[in-house]
Structure 1
Amino acid sequence: MDQPYVIGIDIGGTNTVFGIVDKRGQILRSGAIKTGRHEDVGDYLDELAQALNDILKDPFSKDTIRGIGVGAPNGNYFSGSIEFAPNLPWKGVIPFAQMLEERIGIPVALTNDANAAAIGEMTYGAARGMKDFIEITLGTGVGSGIVVNGQLVYGHDGFAGELGHVIMRRNNGRLCGCGRNGCLEAYTSATGVARTAREILDLNPDTPTLLRNIPVEDITSKDVYDAAVTGDEVAISIFNFTGNILGEAFADFVAFSSPEAIILFGGLAKAGDFILKPTKESMEKNLLKIFKNKVKILFSGLKEDDAAVLGASALGWEV
């Protein structure tokens, strides 16, 4: 039977989104579930399988699906396992592709979520026509997909591209979800921005800011953005702090792969110039002279949910 469709699944720290995709890259039917609802991965997979069955209705059926591609934090392309993902509720090594395939009866392939976003960007988004670029995902964590000469870099074990866990502050660095201190993710993820907000408010108790209208433990990166839009100086300083560290990291990333562009994807990228301007200034300040004014920083050319779903779905054609 002709199998003109694949399914793409993006597992985020908060939500899991999925869709049925055709050969032109059109998402024809989609859905979502909460990632952290179940501490037991088996219960989560049962809910995911049921949600997939719910969208596999006329004119779609399992017989029309070539394969399923999954993008997940710490997803290992070679083994099909999610391994020691700090931002997911399930610990250790999870043979995810095998477990999902057993429940749904369709072949499953899996890769890192940021790699999936990079594939989607290269096929349908801002990286079309590029052979050398880095996709940076700024969400609950910080991930990366590195493309060199048109090929994703996986490394010998499938885990190349953990740029969110490059250590940016070696002395008294923040504790990261991975268990180490000073990682880029601890500062420039959406959760890192919220941590910065709490620190700045604590250190400057007399400085007026709209952020004081929110219980300090409830502040999110979106709250910081909403305040920055009004001209709130504290909120703008939070983005400047974040962009400064992100730019330092980008200058180092450029040194090892000389990308044409670094593409920002994920929730924090919605902050627009508040994050782009300080990041670009910091990167240029810290670049080697041979790289100055050569590397673009771009926002993803795809809607946030679509990029990772489309990228993951590309794996479905190969299983």
Structure 2
Amino acid sequence: MTTAIAVDLGGTNLRAALIDSGATILAHATVLTPTTGPSGEAITAAIIARIEALLASPEGRRVTAIGVASAGPLDLDRGWVVNSPNIAFSVVEITRPLRERFGLPVTLINDARAGVLGERWAGAARGSDNVVYLTLSTGIGGGAVVNGRLLLGMDGNAGEIGHIPVDTRYNLTCGCGYRGHWEGYASAKHIPRFFTVWREEADVRQVAFDAGSTRAIFEAARAEDPVALAFMEALGEVNARGVSAVIVAYNPEVIVLDGPLARYYGDIIIRYMEPCIDRYLTLPRIVVSDLRGRSPLIGAAAYALEAR
């Protein structure tokens, strides 16, 4: 049985794993993604260190490929991560340094595109040929398989659904610099800011929870705090606009939600989002991933093994 090393580079965490051709994770490690240093080489070095540790394990002898999934945008021709709003460096070189260091084939794919592959291979979308994977994390990302084919686009960036325009009322600036994007409202990073402007417009004077914490806002909603629940209505409308656009763009039979927000608060998110989704096309099944955040790792391994 062949084995790949999979890396998942996110804005907060850097994960690496040994995964065999049966989608079994043999070893797994997580460290914080570097945010300081003179250049993106700090992240490249951290990736190399994780790979070296995995190769030193007994299962490392069977590794035939390396797959890296990363937050985008990507420049696939160069093998770079470029100008990602959630990564601290404007350029992170991936494929060339890893290929030269380890002498193995190296693939690079957007983390959400890897996520949809992981869900089709080993998760909630097994057996489905029309799938959208939606990650609600530091940012918002997506990946789509349509009629059994992964959509990549010209530069590998098809599916940047976090940058779907969803609002002109508050007109909040996204991390990418443009206004009104889904990620700028409903990602873990930006929900407290959205709460602040919503609160001002709604003239909410007193709040009984930490309004600067996404977790605290959702925990208050779970405890049925009336202010938090009212905000969930507004957040649900924004999420529904994004999902409505996804449905008419890709016509999926299933949407798989992942990322920390979905894993911890998926029930609340779906409850307030689903009634507001447009019914122009058939409403797909909307589920929360059961792969515990490892869909991009599993998908990166699948992509690397298939390319090899």
In the other structure, the counterpart of 1:127 is 125
Shift in Å at residue 209 of structure 1? Answer: 3.3
**Identical-pair percentage:** 29
In the other structure, the counterpart of 1:287 is 279
Shift in Å at residue 186 of structure 1? Answer: 0.4
Aligned residues: 304
Shift in Å at residue 108 of structure 1? Answer: 1.3
Shift in Å at residue 9 of structure 1? Answer: 0.8
Matched, 1:267 2:260: yes
Classify the secondary structure of the residue corresponding to 2:31. Answer: strand
Letter paired with 2:146: V
In the other structure, the counterpart of 1:315 is 303
Shift in Å at residue 208 of structure 1? Answer: 4.1
CA contact (8 A) 1:11 1:35 kept: yes
Shift in Å at residue 240 of structure 1? Answer: 2.2
In the other structure, the counterpart of 1:297 is 286
In the other structure, the counterpart of 2:242 is 249
Note the 1:19-98 alignment, pairs <5 A. 19-39=17-37, 40-61=39-60, 63-74=61-72, 75-77=74-76, 79-92=78-91, 94-98=92-96
Shift in Å at residue 4 of structure 1? Answer: 2.1
CA contact (8 A) 1:172 1:181 kept: no
Could you give the per-residue CA deviations for residues 134-192 of structure 1, whole angstroms, max 9, x where no partner exists? Answer: 11111111111011011111123322111111111245511111111111110111122
CA distance in 2, matches of 1:274, 1:114: 22
In the other structure, the counterpart of 1:238 is 231
When normalised by structure 1's length, the TM-score is 0.88
CA distance in 2, matches of 1:178, 1:19: 30
CA distance in 2, matches of 1:297, 1:251: 12
Could you give the per-residue CA deviations for residues 55-83 of structure 1, whole angstroms, max 9, x where no partner exists? Answer: 3224133x421111111112345542212
In the other structure, the counterpart of 2:214 is 221
CA contact (8 A) 2:44 2:93 kept: no
Could you give the per-residue CA deviations for residues 24-83 of structure 1, whole angstroms, max 9, x where no partner exists? Answer: 11111111221133342112222321232223224133x421111111112345542212
Shift in Å at residue 87 of structure 1? Answer: 0.9
CA contact (8 A) 1:169 1:183 kept: yes
CA distance in 1, matches of 2:221, 2:208: 9
Kindly tell me: are residues 99 and 170 of structure 1, through their superposed partners in 2, closer, same or farther at Cα, counting changes over 3 Å? farther
CA contact (8 A) 1:81 1:95 kept: yes
Classify the secondary structure of the residue corresponding to 2:128. Answer: coil
Could you give the per-residue CA deviations for residues 210-244 of structure 1, whole angstroms, max 9, x where no partner exists? Answer: 31xx3x5xx22212122222211222223222221
CA distance in 1, matches of 2:285, 2:102: 42
CA contact (8 A) 1:121 1:301 kept: no
Kindly tell me: are residues 171 and 275 of structure 1, through their superposed partners in 2, closer, same or farther at Cα, counting changes over 3 Å? closer
CA contact (8 A) 2:2 2:62 kept: yes
CA distance in 1, matches of 2:135, 2:163: 13
Could you give the per-residue CA deviations for residues 186-210 of structure 1, whole angstroms, max 9, x where no partner exists? Answer: 0111122222233345556764433
CA distance in 1, matches of 2:155, 2:54: 34
In the other structure, the counterpart of 1:193 is 191
List runs of 5+ in structure 1 lacking aligned partners: none
Shift in Å at residue 131 of structure 1? Answer: 0.6
CA distance in 2, matches of 1:240, 1:180: 24
When normalised by structure 2's length, the TM-score is 0.91
In the other structure, the counterpart of 1:150 is 148
CA distance in 1, matches of 2:21, 2:64: 11
* Alignment RMSD (CA, Å): 2.0
Letter paired with 1:241: A
List runs of 5+ in structure 2 lacking aligned partners: none
CA distance in 1, matches of 2:189, 2:214: 7
| Greater Cα offset, 197-206 or 69-78 | 197-206
CA contact (8 A) 2:165 2:182 kept: yes
Classify the secondary structure of the residue corresponding to 2:234. Answer: helix
CA contact (8 A) 1:76 1:110 kept: no
